[in-house]
Structure 1
Amino acid sequence: MHTKDDFLVKPSRSDLLAEANRCVSCGLCLPHCPTYRLTLSEADSPRGRIAMISGAASRRIPMNARFTLHIDRCLTCRACEVVCPNHVAYGRLIDEARVMMTIPPSGLMKGAVAKKRNWFRSLLERVFVDKSKRFDVVRPLMYLFQRIGLQEKLQQLSIVKGTRLGLLLSKLPLIHFPLHRWQETYPAIGRECGEVALFLGCVARLVDIETNISTIYVLNNLGYTVHVPNSQTCCGALYQHSGRIAEAADLIQRNKKAFAGLNIKAIISTASGCGAHLTEFYSQYQTENFSAPIVDINKFLVEQDWSEVKITALPKKVVVHDPCSMRNVLRASSYPYRLLAHIPGIELMELAGNNFCCGAAGTYFLDQPEIAESLLSDKMAALDRAEANYLVTSNIGCLLHFTSGLRDQEKKLEALHPVTLLARQIGIQ
């Protein structure tokens, strides 16, 4: 038997084998896997990856460069889990395989190679992700960096083009609200319905502050006081999906402390990827749960009383993108549609191909840019056919991915979070 702490650092091979052996190789997952549809390689399918994980866990095959290639190509979209008749926990298998890939070669079979950390990604994690408040300091600097044209000039340098830095810069939208500072508490407006807390996330504090500001505005107008703990940090999903579950667990514990002691109904998450990770970590690793339930903003707002809130009509066509974390993990993809239906005159439609990943997948666009761009191009084509005025999506990574695609193709369509569109119709300035 292993302890919880041991498991967070090194998964049990017997547990991995037991879960992998639940796959009966029926192949129902194949047409739902984005990477299999692109490469038509069995090794890039859920069934193939499970077979490789089983082989590595039983020491029948080495975790070499080829093994790493196919595991890393997985988007962790988890569309396969939704259609799996045997309910194989594929997402957990992939995460734990990535943990094994970080183990030094001495702990692996002959021919195995431990995966090396990318220095650029490690630098970003140490400087910003672990200390998310630093994004608040960087925001005005990035705002100035963009406005005087330095970002564009940097992207044109030959030493930057094609690098992870170049890819990252290409995804950055224009920075807004450069001088905004978070308060600890935002009081309800008018009637009082209770208190909630807001999970800000990490990257959103730099590039999507409008969504969190809009969330506070809407909640205040519904009668909720909103707490924003100053000591909160990244949710840890980026660490978990790169095989560093111990670091992810540390961030979870720091966030639990940040939100402890508040008399709140819920901890609101605006990014479905963060919400899915915060929700699942407890059930996966049997750690102590948060002091209040983690609830996606769309779901929370749908369940409120809107009778006293005035919403201006919007006679426009709005196409809705379903993030994989919302559809396949939280199983809550209906809520954005139900929420936006409160806006009079709105025409809602589902983005064609919503059951397939857009290619953002956390930092996937940095690690697998060719596949990420191929998947994004499918979404851009679907948007052309939709002829909509707005695109809404409930995950920060997807929003950045779509925004960069729209900018590259010089499309006038605006991409934003559902709650941002709703806040505008309520009257946010």
Structure 2
Amino acid sequence: MNSAFYIKREAAKCVACGLCLPHCPTYGLLHDESESPRGRLSLMLALAKGELPLSDKLELHLARCLDCRACEKVCPSYVSYGLALDSARALIEVAREPSISPATRSVSILQWLVEKPGRVRTLGKFLWLYHLSGLQWLLRTSRLLKLFGFAELEENLTSPPTPKAAVEIYPTTSKSKGKVTFFTGCLTQITDQQTLISTIRLLNRLGYEVHVPPDQGCCGALHLHSGLPEKTAELMGQNIKAFTGNTEPILCAASGCTATLSEYAKYRESDESSDRFSSRVTDLNQFLAGLAWSSDIVFRPLKKRVAVHNPCTLTNVLRQEDKPYALLARIPGAEIIPLPDNSLCCGAAGTYHLTQTRIARQLRAPKIDHLRRLAPDILVTSNSGCAMYLAAGIREAGLAIEVMHPVVLLEKQIQNGTST
């Protein structure tokens, strides 16, 4: 990955028009040009040209970027800001001194865990025991988690599901309409297992056989956005290999993962297999909304208020933010309410809430205030990271709001469907 080349190429497109400024969450909070997309692009370019040495201040300005890519959606010059930012972070990672801060340690541990599927499965078993044994309650009531820098990471955990053995093929019992492959990712298997279960059930009900390649792993987002292109390429290659051998659509329920999968070709330009892989990737909401649903699929009425959160990756990268609304409209009686200020990031942003906790909480606070005022029964979001971070804020605020993926709600409301 030629980091300096990508930065120079994308920065050259920027005409500094400022149309991105009102859409940048950090600029809106800090009112600092260096915390805006065009300001950061100038810093990246100076770094790439060697005109500005790496410093703590420069690194902080770039680290504070959420990589929400709201700027890309409104840019008249089509600057690939996300690519430039990832390239700049790669340059920084090579040049800077290793950090041992609590936040950096948490991120490093997460990265190490997701590099191997076996480690994630082991983590799932540990978390299950951690919750059942009462150790979770003990550590949460003590100061040990905060002392060692794991409080922000641990507060996102909900009660983990019972570990389940992996199955590769889920046949449909309905009239067959085809086959799909399903990207389950890494941590989603233990943090949002219900979404994976509901997705498979719904696809089977709609007539699709679901294949779950056993050798798949982390999409690479955690490493990509931390400036680790070599490890990212390794994880991408692993997934490309795992999904080689068929041409079925690759569906993914977490928009953060889907966004990364859809851009493999951008980060592996000379690799034709990446082009083929990325061309098959489809957001789950998008796939379901594009189907001709059988009249046999009938939904039970739901007399509840459902607030919809639009993840940045679904909105700014995949451009599919309308699809959850189209799906939820199938449920009779449900009052569907877009969460106000949906265009602004919730603050989760991958590991951002671990490394830039103060700003992340400032961005989450208005979301929680809107939820308190709207008082919905359910909040749906299409990204597992956003779901965990918002759920943690909801628990902290003492609000009685369920958080789930749109597909979980759909599957629960199907008449004669199986739900948990």
TM-score, normalized by length of structure 1? 0.92
| Residue of structure 2 aligned with 1:35, choices 15, 26, 41 | 26
**Cα distance per residue 1:175-223 (max 9 Å; x no partner):** 12x1322211000122000111110111111110000000000000000
1:198-254, CA deviations, whole angstroms, 9 ceiling, x for partnerless residues?
101111111100000000000000000001111110000111101111211111110
Find out whether 1:236 has 2:223 as its counterpart: no
Map 1:8-407; keep pairs closer than 5 Å.
Answer: 10-11=2-3, 13-104=4-95, 113-114=96-97, 116=99, 118-126=104-112, 128-161=113-146, 163-176=148-161, 178-262=162-246, 264-286=247-269, 287=271, 288-289=273-274, 290-291=276-277, 293-307=280-294, 308-407=296-395
* Greater shift in the superposed pair: 397-406 or 117-126: 117-126
* Separation of aligned partners in 2, 1:138 and 1:67: 36
The answer to whether the 8 Å contact 1:136/1:181 transfers is: no
How far does residue 163 in structure 1 lie from its aligned partner after superposition? 4.6
Q: Structure 1 counterpart of 2:143, which letter?
A: S
Deviations 1:37-94 (A, max 9, x none): 1111111111110111111112111111111101000000001111112111111111
Whole-angstrom CA distance in 1 between matches of 2:309 and 2:40 = 27
Counterpart residue type for residue 148 of structure 1: S
Secondary structure at the aligned position of 2:180 is classed as strand
Bigger mean CA offset, 131-140 vs 375-384: 131-140
Indicate conservation of the 8 Å contact 2:107/2:354, yes or no.
no
Q: Deviations over 1:294-318 (max 9, x none)?
A: 1111011111122221221212111
Distance 1:396 1:282, change over 3 A: same
* Higher mean C-alpha deviation, range 326-335 or range 20-29: 20-29
Instruction: Name the % identity.
Output: 40
CA contact (8 A) 2:221 2:232 kept: yes
Give distance in 2, aligned partners of 1:283 and 1:131.
Answer: 24
Q: Which 10-residue stretch deviates more, 137-146 or 277-286?
A: 137-146
Cα contact 1:214–1:428 (8 A) shared by 2:
no
Structure 1 residue 114: Cα displacement: 4.4
User: Which letter maps to 1:342?
Assistant: R
Summarize deviations over 1:88-129 as a string: whole Å, max 9, x none.
Answer: 11111110000000124xxxxxxxx44647344323322x20
Q: Which moved more, 1:43-52 or 1:356-365?
A: 43-52
Kindly provide the CA deviation profile for residues 273-299 of structure 1, in whole angstroms up to 9, marking residues without a partner as x. 100001012134323234561111101
Q: Which moved more, 1:231-240 or 1:286-295?
A: 286-295
**Residue pair 2:6, 2:83 contacting (<8 A) in 1 also:** no
CA distance in 1, matches of 2:149, 2:207: 44
Shift of 1:23: 1.4
Distance in 1 (alpha carbons) for counterparts of 2:22 and 2:234? 37
The 3 A distance-change label for structure 1 pair 269 and 42 is same
CA pair 162-392 structure 1, distance change in 2 beyond 3 A = farther
* 1:138-168 CA distance string (max 9 Å, x none): 3243123113321122234434216541211
Is contact 1:82–1:328 with CA below 8 Å preserved after alignment? yes
Alignment partner, residue 410 of structure 1 = 398
TM-score, normalised with respect to structure 2: 0.93
What SS does the corresponding residue of 1:171 show, helix, strand or coil?
Answer: coil
Q: Which amino acid aligns with 1:251?
A: L
- Write the distance in 2 (CA, Å) between the matches of 1:21 and 1:363: 29
One-letter amino acid of the structure 2 residue matched with residue 206 of structure 1: I
Equivalenced residue count is: 409
Structure 2 residue matching 1:352: 3-state secondary structure: coil
- Which amino acid in 1 is paired with 2:248? K
| RMSD of aligned alpha carbons | 1.6
Aligned equivalents of 1:353, 1:143: Cα separation in 2: 36
Three-state SS of the structure 1 residue aligned to 2:85 is helix
Residue 108 (structure 1) aligns with: none
Secondary structure of the equivalent of 1:195? strand
Q: Is the 8 A contact 1:101 1:115 kept in 2?
A: no
Q: Report the residue type matching 1:311 in the other structure.
A: F
Give the residue type in structure 2 aligned to 1:300.
F
Q: Counterparts of 1:315 and 1:83 in 2: how far apart (Å)?
A: 37
Q: C-alpha separation between the residues in 1 aligned to 2:147 and 2:68?
A: 25
